[in-house]
Amino acid sequence: MLEFIKQRSVKTDAIPSRVSTLSVSWLNTQFKAVAVQRGSVTASWERPGDTDDPVNFESFLREAVRETGYRGHTVTLVLAHPRLMQQLLEVPPARGAALEKLIQRQAQQQKAFPGAAASVSQTLPGGKSTQRVLLHIFPRLLIDQFIQGARGAGLHLTSVLPASAVVQRQFMQLPLPRADTALLAAETGGSTTAFAGQGDGQMLLARTLADTWNGASERLALDLNRTVLFVNQQYGVLAQTLWVFGPEAADQLALVQKATQLPAKLSPVAYDPFYWAIEALKLRRELAPNFLSPELQQAPQREIFARVVAVATSLFVAASLGTAAYAQLQARQTWRAIREAQSQISQLESRHEALKRLDAEMTQMQDTVNLVVADRPPPAAAWLMAFLGDAVPPDLVITNYEVIRAGKEWKIRLAGTLQQAIKTPSSLPMGEAVRRLKARLSGAPFYIRFADDAEGAAPASSSDPQTNWLARLATQFPNAAGRQSSAELDHFVLEGAMR
């Protein structure tokens, strides 16, 4: 029966573009740092000399920042340390807070150092009635020193990862059939991190061994053989391959093959001095075993959020103060304008009262003037007399001129005769001259209406003295309308009215 096997690719993905941090790998005495900006490595640095004291973490970080030119605010740490240990536990089935409390109790019992323990766990394949957990244990005091050292360097420590997390990621890149069980041994700065798993990526065990193939290779081979036997017994599987990774692994491959029970192969992943610092950034944050609590991991985001809130609050307060100051200024200007307007209103009211008094005085004076001169009739008689000087033909002379006011009209009587001193061959007959005079007076500007009295008609009596006087004139001069001819009389009489 044929079984088709799907092998995984050994291609490595890139650092996520959202990542900008200073990644540090501290493997026993090797301190290396890589500055990453938006997923791209911008600089790397390795500190020479002895670097095994966690108290110097702050000074090491300051050097790394200075040497790499890092301008960010966060730092990550992948760690291999003599006090870092792993312990396989079988715990009762539990979930959530109950499981976390049980694991913490086991970590305090299993630790091999004084003081409190910091722990992080990973789930392993379990039995029917129990569940297996791989517990990573590290001194809490050293974790606190790392956190304080980062703060002293002006950075936020966001993760402290065991080197086995990076080895697990490399194991996922090995060309293994899904059903095979294998062991990957990686040299980590003077120690060896061993990882046992299956071809589908399921982790079975992770251990930190004190020896390397560059030192005590026999003791390392003994520890590797014990690890293989333990995995086979615990899970009922049969490990088939040993993969090795690290500096000089190719040179020591034959020696490792000779000392171990499994066929040894060189890992296809290329070794790089900064491999651990770079690969740690490619781990999925939610799956990586991080010694820092979620609260500490999110401290930079919370601080940034707090700064944003503080800045926004400051801006809001400043804007509020500015608005209040502007409103206060506008209110003062408004009150000043109101006071000025009220003052102007008072002045205008005073001026209005003065003008009213002056108007009353002027009205009284106008009434007085009207009593004296307003009811006097216009000087129509004088105007007419002046006009006669131009309107009377040269053949006539006015001998009698009377103008009397009668209600809204002026009663006019003109009497005259021929000009005896002027006799020319072109002289007009008297009747024609009189008709011309009447025509001039009937037009502009006086529009006099002349009365043509009936011969022998007696005027009706009237209560108006002026009307009776005119009637008597008409009786005395029956031909006053100018009907007489110049051959019969040498004088004329015109009577009329104008408004």
Under DSSP, the state recorded for 223 is: H
Helix 380-391 vs helix 430-442: angle between axes, to the nearest 10 degrees? 130
End-to-end CA distance of the chain: 145
Q: What's the confidence (pLDDT) of residue 130?
A: 77
Q: What is the pLDDT of residue 376?
A: 65
What per-residue confidence (pLDDT) applies to 420? 64
Confidence at residue 45, expressed as pLDDT on a 0 to 100 scale: 94
| Matching residue, tokens 């036997």 | 229
Q: What is the pLDDT of residue 487?
A: 40
Q: Is 298 helix (H, G, I), strand (E, B) or coil?
A: coil
Three-class SS state of 385 = helix
CB 42, CB 21: distance < 8 Å: no
Structure tokens at 470: 């005119």
> Residues near 493 by Cβ (< 8 Å), separated by ≥ 6?
400, 413, 414, 415, 477, 479, 480, 482
Closest CA to 248 of 301, 212, 224: 212
CA distance 359 to 366: 10
d(CA 291, CA 120): 6
Residue segments in the chain with a per-residue pLDDT below the cut of 70: 1-12, 127-128, 297-306, 372-377, 420-428, 452-489
> Which whole-number Å values give the CA distances from 5 to 89, 176, 239, in the listed order?
32, 9, 17
Among 392, 382, 386, smallest CA distance to 419 is for 392
46 φ/ψ sector (left φ>0, alpha ψ -120 to 50, else beta): beta
**Is the CB of residue 222 less than 8 Å from the CB of residue 189?**
no
d(CA 223, CA 204): 16
**Contact present, 493 and 444 (Cβ < 8 Å):** no
- Taking the C-alpha atoms of residue 236 and residue 188, their distance in angstroms, rounded to an integer, is 29
Its CATH architecture, for the domain 15-118+137-162+273-295, is 2-Layer Sandwich (3.30)
* Backbone dihedral angles phi then psi of residue 404, each to the nearest 5 degrees: -125, 135
Amino acid at 210: A
The secondary element (H helix, E strand) that includes residue 329 is helix 299-369
The reported pLDDT for the residue numbered 380 is 77
Exposure pattern of 384-404 as b/e (b: 16+ CB <10 Å)?
beeebeebbbebbebeeeebe
Beta strands in 53-155 (DSSP E): 74-80, 85-91, 117-124, 131-139
Q: Which two tokens stand for residue 151?
A: 């703060």
CB 401 within 8 A of CB 422: no
Instruction: Quote the pLDDT of residue 375.
Output: 60
The structure tokens 């420590």 sit at 157
Q: What SS3 state is found at 86? A: strand
| Residue closest to 478 by CA, chosen among 495, 466, 461 | 495
Q: Which CATH superfamily is domain 174-268 in?
A: ATPase, nucleotide binding domain (3.30.420.40)
- Directed axis angle between helix 57-68 and helix 140-152, to 10°? 40
DSSP state, residue 263: P
Beta bridge partners of 88: 134
Helix (H) / strand (E) containing 411: strand 409-418
Residues linked to residue 235 through DSSP beta bridges, in sequence order: none
- Quote the pLDDT of residue 465: 54
What whole-number distance in Å separates Cα of residue 468 and Cα of residue 208?
Answer: 156
Phi, psi of 360, deg, nearest 5 = -65, -40
The residue ranges of DSSP E strands in 140-281, in sequence order, are 156-162, 181-187, 192-198, 203-209, 239-245, 264-266
Q: What confidence score (pLDDT) does residue 33 get? A: 95
